[in-house]
Amino acid sequence: MLFGQRSQLWWDLPVRDSLELLRDMYGVPERLYRTQLDRFDASLALGELLPVMARKLSLGQRMRADLAAALLHDPAVLYLDEPTIGLDITAKDQVRAMLRRLRELGTTILLTTHDLADIENLCQRIVIIDAGSIVFDGPIATIKDLLATERTVHFVLADAAPPGLARSLPGVTASLDSSSHHASITFDRLLFTAGQVTKAVAAQADIVDMWIDEPKIEDVVRRIYARDYELR
């Protein structure tokens, strides 16, 4: 278990001593213990923290050390509370990559967080609670399909975008910038596919580049808490 605001390290001991105590408490064999330390050093840069007193660690450093402590005995189930709090972008990416590997190896991870990027990067299933009630419990892809059906395709065109670029697709929203030869088409994927939108644009303009904005889990959660939704 890992708590974002509480540590399982001994406050007045170096991190190394805390890990050795946990090693003995869980009966971790010495060879496995050394292997785990090497693994944590590669994933969490743990080596530089081992001689440091726990009370002298920054929040981000403590989270890295606490994660190592939680994983030391290779648990089958891992409970995480705000696991990336206090971490910089690089450290967050390292922690998420490590947790994804654990998940792929069969570790069950239960995660609570306000950082929705953690959810998109780590979770396959999401439970959303609003006013004390569960309003959704299921795959992330499903909640996106229910509440975030809009997609936006961005195009860079060889020439200025023609005014009637989206005329053949009723119901879509077009944003045109002639000065930068840029066009954005927002559509409901239940009515059109990205291929249909691209074909309609290509019939009227030469496409140099394109990309699609996929819905983010933040957009879904924002709609739920604004009561702007209808779960079907």
Residue 120 tokens, joined: 């998109």
* Residues 149-214, CATH architecture: 2-Layer Sandwich (3.30)
Residue 130 pLDDT more than 70? yes
pTM of the model: 0.67
* Residue 230 pLDDT: 57
The answer to whether 159 touches 174, Cβ cutoff 8 Å, is no
* Residue 156 pLDDT: 92
User: Strand, coil or helix: what is 75?
Assistant: coil
pLDDT digits (tens, 9 = 90+) for 27-72: 999 999 999 999 899 888 899 999 999 999 988 888 889 999 999 9
Give one word for 27, left, alpha or beta, with left for phi > 0 and alpha for psi -120 to 50: left
Mean pLDDT in residue range 140-159 = 85
* Residue 228 pLDDT: 60
Closest CA to 53 of 6, 8, 13, 9: 13
Residue ranges per structural domain of the chain:
2-123, 149-214
* Residues 2-123, CATH architecture: 3-Layer(aba) Sandwich (3.40)
pLDDT digits (tens, 9 = 90+) for 153-181: 999 999 888 877 777 778 888 888 867 78
pLDDT digits (tens, 9 = 90+) for 201-231: 898 889 999 999 877 777 777 777 776 655 5
pLDDT digits (tens, 9 = 90+) for 85-116: 778 888 888 888 888 988 998 999 998 887 88
* Residue 68 pLDDT: 93
Residue 211 tokens, joined: 């990309």
* Residue 38 pLDDT: 94
* Residue 232 pLDDT: 47
Mean pLDDT in residue range 10-27 = 95
* Residue 92 pLDDT: 85
* Residue 79 pLDDT: 93
* Residue 146 pLDDT: 78
Residue 82 pLDDT more than 50? yes
Q: For the chain, what percent of residues have pLDDT higher than 70?
A: 96
Rounded (to 5) percent helix, strand, coil in the chain:
40, 25, 35
